[in-house]
Amino acid sequence: MTAVEIVDRPRQGEFLGPLREFLAAHAGPPPRGGSARLAWARAFHADLTDAGLAAPGWPREVGGMDLSLPDQIAYHREMTRARAPRHPCGLSFIVAPTLIRHGTAAQKDRFLRPLLRADEFWCQGFSEPGAGSELTALSTKAVRDGDHYVVTGQKVWTSQAHLADWMFALVRTGEPGPKGISYLLLSMTSPGLTVRPLRDISGGTHFAEVFLDEVRVPVENLVGRENDGWSIARTSLGHERATAFLSDEFRYRRVVSELIALAAGSPAGDDPVVRQDLARMEAGVRILASNSRRALETVLAGRDPGPASSVNRLMRAEFDQRLHEVALRVIGPDAVLGNREPTAPEGGRWTYGYLMSRSSTIGAGTAEIQRNTIAERVLGLPAPPPAPGAGHRAPVTGQDGGAGRRAGGAG
């Protein structure tokens, strides 16, 4: 049972007509250039929200459509088919379910609609120089001072920090380890907060370091209870991850078909090695669809799809890398032209995707960490013994170690 099969189950579907009308009027080819594309995506999602056609899985009381899972799948299929722009701030959909589940009424009223309309961007303040995959070692401190917390420390590999209006961050308010972590919302315009961009392999500055020097954060920006941030960060993503995978399934299906069409129109399409690679990509996208069955069946049964999500995440990251490697072989020598070159094939999307996909198995927890998570938490295998002199290694937590991003041809 794939997402395509689930979408054919009985459903209400009243939203499909209005959604298709909206997409016919608003979707279309994106403008060229990063700034113009960003403005286009922001305007699209503002209009989508104002039309009541955003957030298919959110409850109605917080501005969502409250669709059943089969209807959410149908929604994502229509959006993919129309090539609608993805929300320009994907990290918004990590903090949003957290606020819906754990936030106060005031926090929901203040943040959810601007987030959905893309009026305000968010970044994630989790990873630190000394706390990546082992995130519970974070050391950024938040000390209570009257009706504020005073936050001091450093975050790193922070995606879109240069664009963000707000950061959702894990900070230490208590004892070492997971029990002393709290979840705070910080304004990026706060005095004492400095963003230093980090240039990546594509030449862009998607990532940044963020320095926090006695930044004052109102206590009302605490999400949940003090020292309960680790639990909040780990438990707020299950259903959202599952439905995000649904949109990935449709998107990858489309992109693999585009890659096959690209090869068919080039000399590479006659190369038996390339043809074998394309066959592997076709098999891979079908495997991804098949593997979604476990997550979808779990969600339909009302359970957290955690184990299946771990497997899906690892498979998607490695598939993303292989997909772009094959694309560059199909393109040939012109693949050296980046997305800033006007003559680059297809606007340089495949080359950019290849460069950014290098981080697919590093960001949001390395592939090695994911394999340990699957081994220990899914298969029930014992943790490996520590290396000589390394001391005891804590069991894998399964926590995302950073923001992570897939931003290539499949985007």
DSSP bridge pairs for 142: 151
- CATH number of the domain where residue 334 is located: 1.20.140.10
Question: What sign does the CA torsion over 184, 186, 191, 192 have?
Answer: positive
344 within domain boundaries: yes
257 within domain boundaries: yes
Mean confidence (pLDDT) of the chain? 84
Q: How does pLDDT run across 324-379, given as a tens digit for each residue?
A: 999 999 998 888 887 777 778 887 888 888 888 887 777 666 778 778 878 887 78
CA dist 323 and 301 (Å) reads: 32
- Both 196 and 259 in a single domain? no
- Both 349 and 259 in a single domain? yes
- Both 246 and 136 in a single domain? no
Count of structural domains, the chain: 3
* CA–CA distances in Å: residue 407 to residues 23, 293, 310: 23, 25, 20
The DSSP call for residue 142 is: E
- Both 200 and 274 in a single domain? no
- Both 246 and 362 in a single domain? yes
- CATH number of the domain where residue 20 is located: 1.10.540
CB contact burial 105-131 (16+ within 10 A = b; e otherwise): eebbebbbbbbbbbebbbbbbbbbeeb
112 within domain boundaries: no
Task: Return the minimum-mean-pLDDT range out of 111-120, 209-218, 362-371.
Answer: 362-371
154 within domain boundaries: yes
* pLDDT-based confidence at residue 20 (cuts at 50, 70, 90): very high
- Both 245 and 369 in a single domain? yes
| Residue 199 domain boundaries | 122-229
* CA–CA distances in Å: residue 91 to residues 86, 98, 135, 161, 352: 12, 11, 18, 11, 20
- Both 255 and 347 in a single domain? yes
Q: What percent of the chain has pLDDT over 70?
A: 83
387 within domain boundaries: no
292 within domain boundaries: yes
Last residue of a domain, one of 162, 197, 229: 229
* pLDDT-based confidence at residue 205 (cuts at 50, 70, 90): confident
- Both 346 and 222 in a single domain? no
- Both 257 and 169 in a single domain? no
Of 159, 153, 167, nearest in space to 211 by CA = 153
389 within domain boundaries: no
- Averaged pLDDT, 142-158: 96
- Both 261 and 211 in a single domain? no
In one-letter notation, the amino acid at residue 377 is R
Active site amino acids = 240
Decide if 183 contacts 222 (C-beta within 8 A).
yes
